[in-house]
Amino acid sequence: MSAIRKLLDSLYLLAGILAALCLIAILSLIVVQMVARWTGEVFPGAPNYAGYAMAAASFLAFANALGRGAHIRVSILLNAVPLGLKRLLEIWCFAVAAAIAWYFTYYAYWFVYWSWKFNEISQGQDAIHLWIPQSVMVAGGALLALALTDNLLHVLLKGEHRISRDIVDQTHGE
């Protein structure tokens, strides 16, 4: 099981790194577009590519953010109830969240499939096949669903989730 744990953790970390690279790509696209405007050149499709990179960064970051405790969790109720009820509530929350994430991923897959099947092209100057940036949405959704299922199984088998919280990241409002 430790090999699977290492693989999953590495996969979540890799997705987080790719999300960070997408944010760097957005910055680079914006800077290049600014330079192009200053020099009188045209960079066709830059806003579209920045949008694709933003969507990719968002979806790829979901699983990594879950593991690091960056998603919003209302833990005031969980901290106020007895341990047995807390475990049941966490099982229920992870089960519902995993079901929703798998449901989303299933239909996102079909969305991408039909975009590919109908050969949909973006309306912008870039004229890119839309299934290419849309497929990142499926990959990110699948990683989030996998991370939620991973946490659900961990709560079921070990009694606690795998979400870690850095003290530095916690706000004073909790």
Instruction: Render pLDDT for 138-149 as a digit per residue (tens, 0 to 9).
Output: 999 999 999 999
Average pLDDT over residues 88-115: 95
Of residues 118 and 86, more confidence is placed in 118
Domain tally for the chain? 1
DSSP assignments along 113-133, one per residue: HHHHHTT-B-SSTT--BTHHH
- Virtual torsion, Cα 62, 66, 70, 72, nearest 10 deg: 90
The answer to the question of residue 70 being in a domain is yes
Measured between alpha carbons, how far is 54 from 76 in angstroms, rounded to an integer? 32
The answer to the question of residue 136 being in a domain is yes
Of residues 77 and 112, more confidence is placed in 112
Residue 172 clears pLDDT 70, i.e. is over it? no
The answer to the question of residue 123 being in a domain is yes
Least confident window among 46-55, 69-78, 79-88, 121-130: 69-78
Q: How confident is the model at residue 171 (pLDDT cuts 50, 70, 90)?
A: low
The answer to the question of residue 174 being in a domain is no
- pLDDT confidence of residue 170: 52
Measured between alpha carbons, how far is 96 from 27 in angstroms, rounded to an integer? 36
The answer to the question of residue 168 being in a domain is no
The answer to the question of residue 97 being in a domain is yes
Neighbours of 21 (CB within 10 A): 14
The answer to the question of residue 116 being in a domain is yes
DSSP for residue 40: T
Measured between alpha carbons, how far is 113 from 170 in angstroms, rounded to an integer? 40
pTM: 0.84
How far CA 81 is from CA of 66, 76, 94, 146, 163, in Å, comes to: 23, 9, 17, 27, 19
The answer to the question of residue 93 being in a domain is yes
Q: Indicate the length of the chain as a whole number.
A: 174
Distant-in-sequence, close-in-space partners of 14: CB < 8 Å, separation ≥ 6 = none
Domain span at residue 138?
Answer: 2-162
Taking only the tens place, the pLDDT of each residue in 5-18 is: 899 999 999 999 99
C-alpha triplet 115, 117, 119: angle, nearest 5°: 65
